């Protein structure tokens, strides 16, 4: 007996809300659907559906199992599409995640452009500053910033990312300009999402623990505080390029700037990346390259 038996029937019943409509959708008999679901429940030793004369509803186990089955079926079907047509249009559900501020500003608009070109695709986007476990939480794709640590993932660089240590001229006039890494500890630092600023000294990475009287987990808020002369900040290029160009911020310790990191598209290891993931990554890479923030890098 195949372990796939009953999965299509169970998902159809759950999505259609009845055995009869599921049978019509699958073009089989109602008795076949009922028999396959019953056998599946017997194999699992768990009830998946509550059955009454009027309606069918999911048990708690059914809800948990349904989400997994939907993804299995979609990926199974997409695997056949990969072999049948490597250039087929992306279909099914794509779940992805990105950091909140970067996702809102850069990623979501490009995903929306991609969706307009591929309306048969469904997308769920989770904007979160937590590093989500893609495998455990069932995500197809993540956009991550900086350096990567999870070797289980496949990573594609989709844009550059340089970090700048900056301060407003008004702050530097009052407190002076740091000329060495050792002088940073004497300055008020505006702390964002990271407790550690990465710099470099003689070609080696040098971590620095910033401290000060201001903290917020928003890059835009850190930028605003820096522009008001509250202290030093370390922010990615796309936040500070324009203020630097206008002279509203001054770049500091440029010889100690850490090597450029990157913006990465990350997905779980598979022998063949799903077409919807592969095509969206390329669309993001092309779209970011057209952004004015990256045209100047």
Q: What is the pTM of this model?
A: 0.67
Question: Which positions ≥6 away from 41 have C-beta within 8 Å?
Answer: 47, 48, 49
Q: What is the pLDDT of residues 185-220, one digit of tens each?
A: 999 999 998 899 999 998 888 999 999 999 998 999
Q: Sorting pLDDT into bands at 50, 70 and 90, what band is 297?
A: low
**pLDDT at residue 270, rounded to an integer:** 66
- As to burial, measured by CB atoms within 10 angstroms (0-12 exposed, 13-18 middle, 19+ buried), residue 75 is middle
Q: What is the mean pLDDT of residues 87-115?
A: 90
Give percent of the chain above pLDDT 70. 93
- Give the whole-angstrom CA distance, residue 189 versus residue 196: 11
Q: What is the pLDDT of residues 245-269, one digit of tens each?
A: 999 999 999 999 987 789 999 998 7
- Write down the domain spans for the chain: 7-84, 92-161+261-294, 163-256
CATH code for residues 92-161+261-294: 3.40.190.10
E strands, 202-271, in order: 204-208, 214-215, 233-236, 250-252, 261-268
- Give the whole-angstrom CA distance, residue 99 versus residue 161: 14
Q: What is the pLDDT of residues 142-195, one digit of tens each?
A: 999 988 876 678 899 999 999 999 999 999 999 999 999 999 999 999 999 889
CATH architecture, range 7-84: Orthogonal Bundle (1.10)
Nearest to 235 by CA among 201, 266, 210: 210
Same fold, 92-161+261-294 and 163-256: yes
Nearest to 259 by CA among 190, 180, 206: 206
Question: Which positions ≥6 away from 50 have C-beta within 8 Å?
Answer: 56, 57, 58, 59
> In this structure, which topology does domain 163-256 adopt according to CATH?
D-Maltodextrin-Binding Protein; domain 2 (3.40.190)
């Amino acid at each position: 007996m195949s372990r796939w038996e009953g999965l299509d029937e169970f998902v159809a019943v759950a999505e259609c809300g009845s055995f009869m409509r599921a049978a019509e959708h699958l073009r089989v008999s109602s008795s076949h659907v009922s028999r396959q679901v019953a056998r599946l429940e017997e194999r699992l030793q768990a009830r998946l559906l509550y059955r009454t004369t009027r309606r069918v509803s999911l048990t708690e186990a059914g809800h948990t199992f349904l989400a997994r089955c939907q993804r299995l079926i979609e990926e199974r079907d997409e695997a056949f599409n990969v072999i049948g047509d490597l250039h087929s249009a992306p279909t099914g559900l794509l779940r992805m995640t990105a950091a909140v501020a970067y996702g809102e500003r850069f990623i979501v608009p490009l995903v929306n452009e991609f969706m307009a070109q591929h309306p048969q695709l469904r997308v769920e986007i989770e904007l979160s500053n937590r590093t989500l476990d893609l495998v455990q939480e069932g995500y197809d794709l993540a956009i991550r910033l900086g350096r990567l640590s999870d070797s289980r993932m496949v990573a594609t660089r989709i844009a550059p990312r340089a970090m700048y240590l900056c301060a407003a001229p008004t702050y530097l006039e009052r407190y002076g300009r740091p000329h060495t890494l050792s002088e940073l500890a004497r300055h008020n630092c505006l702390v964002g999402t990271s407790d550690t600023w990465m710099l470099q000294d003689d070609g080696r990475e040098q971590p620095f623990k910033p401290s000060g009287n201001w903290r917020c987990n928003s890059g835009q808020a850190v930028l605003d505080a820096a522009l008001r002369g509250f202290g030093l900040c370390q922010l990615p290029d796309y936040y500070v390029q324009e203020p630097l160009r206008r002279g509203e911020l001054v770049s500091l310790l440029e010889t100690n700037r850490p090597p450029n990191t990157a913006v990465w598209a990350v997905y779980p290891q598979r022998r063949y990346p799903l077409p919807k993931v592969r095509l969206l990554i390329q669309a993001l890479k092309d779209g970011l390259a057209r952004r004015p923030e990256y045209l100047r890098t």
